[in-house]
Amino acid sequence: MRRKIKRDAVKRKRKERRNHMKNALRQFESTPTSCSLCSENFTVADKSNLDTWKIISSPAGVLMCCPACQERHRAHLEQVS
């Protein structure tokens, strides 16, 4: 019983994240269709992309960040600190 509740919470969280991603995509009409850093293609139809890609809104516009670049960025941050 408890375990089921926990699993449902995880599922719900993932769903919320996807909805957030979809809303963000809808919000910005000119959302890039590729990674802003390495030009990797972003496919909205691929649902796993909604979980792994990151949308960053900056004054310069909307940036897309692929999982590989997020990883690289994290490694870079660890290096400088």
Interacting residue ranges for Zn ion, rule: CB under 5 A: 35, 37-38, 40, 66, 69
Q: Nearest 5°: phi and psi at 35?
A: -65, 135
State which residue, 27 or 39, has the beta carbon closest to Zn ion: 39
Whichever of 27 and 41 has its CB closer to Zn ion, that residue is: 41
Q: How far is the CB of 30 from Zn ion (least distance, A)?
A: 18
Q: Which is nearer to Zn ion, 19 or 57 (CB)?
A: 57
47-52, Cβ contacts within 8 angstroms, sequence gap of 24 or more: 47/18, 50/17, 50/18, 50/21, 50/22, 51/14, 51/17, 51/18, 51/21
CB of 5 to Zn ion, least distance (A): 37
